[in-house]
Amino acid sequence: MNGFFDIPSDLDNTYFGLIGLHLREALLPVLAGLLAALPLAQLCVRFRWLYPPVLGVTTVFYAIPSLAVFVVLIDYTGQTELTVMIPLAVYSLVVLVPAIVDGVRSVPEETLAASTAMGFGPVRRYLQVQLPIAVPAILAGLRVAVASSISLVSVGALIGNQGALGNLLADAQKYGRPELAVNSVLTTAVLAILCDAVLVLVRNLLTPWMPRGRRQRPKEAAARPEPQEAAAK
């Protein structure tokens, strides 16, 4: 495994430079997808009839292979990072719209009624009640989007070396250095796992109100009936 971290000069980058590039190419599209998905999902929640067609169309997008999209996009955006990131953003959108819609819809009816009755306007209600309660569902969607985006960036190697860590796969073939392929696969996997761990951490920080914790819950449940029993006596 000599030269494991010896990046061929044609990539014009260091190992850590490739990692940074990979993360940028993977995460910017997810961010763009999230920003587009939020209003789209809200429209789908507001106008129920909109959801099935939106879901249908986005699912068709998801079915188009990224390579085919690259071929079409190259005519417009050339052999650039942008060509890689556009389909990735679309894929993220496809995953995130249903996640957000389901999350927002999971807000209990009486919680919505109570917030309306307390004088929340629609915007305030969306930002302060529906969206926060949808956070676990949104983060679940983000985890899927981020993991698939990180793995898909490598395909960019096929269009003018825009695949970041994926370019190592191409170079492994070109220079007959299999250790570069191992490096590419391992590093990509580790990146995906680390990003996922960060998202889990973010979720736990954002949702202290979620029932979790294996030790805490049963204890709570056991402690609860006591006041009632006392009252009964």
Binding site for other proteins (CB under 8 A): 108, 110-121, 124, 129, 132-133, 135, 207-211, 220, 224-225, 227-228, 231-232
Alpha-carbon dihedral 218, 221, 226, 227, rounded to 10 degrees: 140
Task: Determine contact, residues 150/188, Cβ cutoff 8 Å.
Answer: yes
Nearer to other proteins, 173 or 216 (CB): 216
- Cβ proximity to other proteins: between 27 and 133 the closer is 133
Q: How far is the CB of 196 from other proteins (least distance, A)?
A: 23
- In angstroms, what is the C-alpha Rg of the chain? 23
CB atoms inside a 10 Å sphere around CB 82: 16
Q: Report d(CA 212, CA 219) in Å as an integer.
A: 12
Least distance to other proteins from the beta carbon of 117, Å? 4
Smallest distance from the beta carbon of 15 to other proteins, in angstroms? 42
Q: Which is nearer to other proteins, 6 or 220 (CB)?
A: 220
Enter the tokens of residue 148: 């698939």
Sign of CA dihedral 2, 8, 9, 12: negative
Least spacing, CB of residue 100 vs other proteins, in Å: 16
**Separation CA 4–CA 183 (nearest Å):** 7
Using the minimum distance from each CB to other proteins, give the nearer residue, 68 or 113: 113
Contact 33, 92 (CB under 8 A): yes
Give whichever of 111 and 173 is closer to other proteins, judged by the CB atom: 111
Cβ closest to other proteins, residue 1 vs residue 118: 118
In the complex, minimum distance from the CB of residue 232 to other proteins, in angstroms, rounded to a whole number: 5
**Minimum Å distance from CB 138 to other proteins?**
13
Q: Residues 68, 66, 56, CA angle at the centre, nearest 5°?
A: 95
CB 150 within 8 A of CB 195: yes
C-beta of 56 vs 208, nearer to other proteins: 208
Angle between helices 131-152 and 178-206 (to 10 degrees): 180
Query: Minimum distance between the CB of residue 115 and other proteins, rounded to whole angstroms?
Result: 7
Instruction: Report how far residue 66's alpha carbon sits from residue 223's, in angstroms, rounded to the nearest whole number.
Output: 54
